[in-house]
Structure 1
Amino acid sequence: MTTIIAHRGFAGVTPENTVGAVRVAADRADRVEIDVVACGDGTPVVFHDARLDAGADSRGVTDGSGAVADLPSEAVTDAVVLGSGQRVPTLARLLARTTGPLDVELKSPGAGTDPRGSLPPADRDIARERWQPFVDRVLELVGGRDARFSSFSEGALAAVRERDATASLAPLCTDLGTGRELAVRYDAGSIHPSLPALRAADRVPTDRTVNVWTVRTWVEARAAVDAGADGLIADYPGLTRWLGGRDVES
């Protein structure tokens, strides 16, 4: 059975990373993926881009402006997502108003550079220490909720493992070899590669769950499963309907 993880709360059909999106997606997915970043005051908020408005790699998905890492939480949570009436939530608010399993992607602990992938041994403690205060706040808020923590950043994975030896982890990667390396180093039960990374891999790990991002069409869903994916991190519900009888929705 293919696991379905609603990417940002099924971002293709809902205002992404909002309370409303998570509520809707919880009824149509096995898990819901959200992005968590730090505001200027350190408050964890559920948001993907570096900026509220367009600029650099940010898409301009709210009516607010400015870099999230430079703004107080009040300014960030006042922003409306894509004209939907749904505002950017704090992590605390989203957790209080939703139920169900979550995949929490740790995006950024604040302003500054954030190296991705596997780090040299000399840099790992520095990266973990930078992430630790933010990760500690996130872990305290999540508490006993069923949650798996993912990140492209080794520092984030190390910070979670530093505080919780049993937390569920999933390295995000664009190279499956790097993902497996980090999974072994931090005893992660899952790996989250991109679809191109999975299809390019010589061997897909069988000792860990492999969930592929970001799946947007039924053709990509079929390709991911054929390549060895256990789960799909998907923008839309219903993408498993045409998987050749392996997992057909009723």
Structure 2
Amino acid sequence: MTTTIAHRGFAGVNPENTVGAVRAASAAGADRVEIDVVACADGTPVVFHDAHLDDDGESRGVTDGSGAVHDLSPETVTAASVYGSGERVPTLARLCAETTVPLDIELKRPGESVCRGPLPPADRDAARERWQPFVDRVCDTLGDRDVRFSSFCEGALAAVRARDADAALAPLCRRLDVGRTLADRYDATAIHASLAAVRGGVDIDRTCNVWTLRTWREARDAVAAGADGLIADYPGLQQWLEA
């Protein structure tokens, strides 16, 4: 049975990364919900994807707020409304208190720019140390929640493994060889690969969940390639797979 993971709480039909989206995704039958977690100025983990609340730089203007999240207080960030929906940017603590579905947490910026992909040995300890305070804050918030951690950044994966030898990890990748390298290095249980990365077929000895799927045809292609799970923007993408 292919697992359905609701990307940002099925962002195609819900205001992404909000409590309302996570609840709606769970009600729609998602097995797990994927969310993004970033740090405010004081290190508080909030559930948000972009670097800025507004459309500065590469950010998309997701909220009615403005400024870089890593420069703002949690009070300012959580006052922002997501796409005018009335749903506010939640702290990770609030989302955990108000929902129960298993989570896939993508660890994003710990307040600064970070490197993606595997690092040379000389850089790994410094990268882990940059991530460790934020990862510790996230883990302290989660308690015994059913969580799997993902990231494009080796420093984030290393910090989780340093904190918890048994934590479930899933490197994010656009190339399977990159995912395999990080999965082997940190004993990850899964790899989260782009659809483009698995077009030639999945050849790994771990669970492979494929992102970000928006149509039933993409879901069909991912399953045909050997995906174990679908990280999807919409519910119901599996209904035509048997046909």
Q: 1:211 aligns with which of 209, 212, 228?
A: 209
Matched, 1:38 2:39: yes
> Counterpart of 1:88?
89
Q: 1:237 aligns with which of 215, 235, 238?
A: 235
Superposition map of 1:51-62 within 5 A: 51-62=52-63
Matched, 1:147 2:147: yes
Q: Which consecutive unaligned segments of at least 5 residues does structure 2 have?
A: none
Q: What secondary structure, in the 3-state scheme, does the structure 1 residue paired with 2:134 have?
A: helix
- Aligned partner of 1:42: which letter? G
User: Which of structure 1's runs of 4+ aligned residues deviate more than 4 A?
Assistant: none
Shift of 1:142: 0.8
Figure out how many residues of one structure are paired with residues of the other and give that number: 242
Shift of 1:100: 1.4
Matched, 1:173 2:173: yes
Superposition map of 1:176-195 within 5 A: 176-195=176-195
> Counterpart of 2:50?
49
| Residues in 2 aligned to 1:55 and 1:141: alpha-carbon distance in whole angstroms | 29
Shift of 1:200: 4.2
TM-score, normalised via structure 1 length: 0.95
| Residues in 2 aligned to 1:140 and 1:221: alpha-carbon distance in whole angstroms | 35
| Residues in 2 aligned to 1:143 and 1:185: alpha-carbon distance in whole angstroms | 26
Q: Deviations over 1:205-231 (max 9, x none)?
A: 1x2000000000000000001111100
| Residues in 2 aligned to 1:200 and 1:157: alpha-carbon distance in whole angstroms | 26
Pairwise CA RMSD: 0.9
Shift of 1:72: 0.8
- Aligned partner of 1:220: which letter? E
Q: Which consecutive unaligned segments of at least 5 residues does structure 1 have?
A: 246-250
> Counterpart of 2:10?
10
Q: Deviations over 1:69-94 (max 9, x none)?
A: 11111110000000000000000000
Shift of 1:19: 0.3
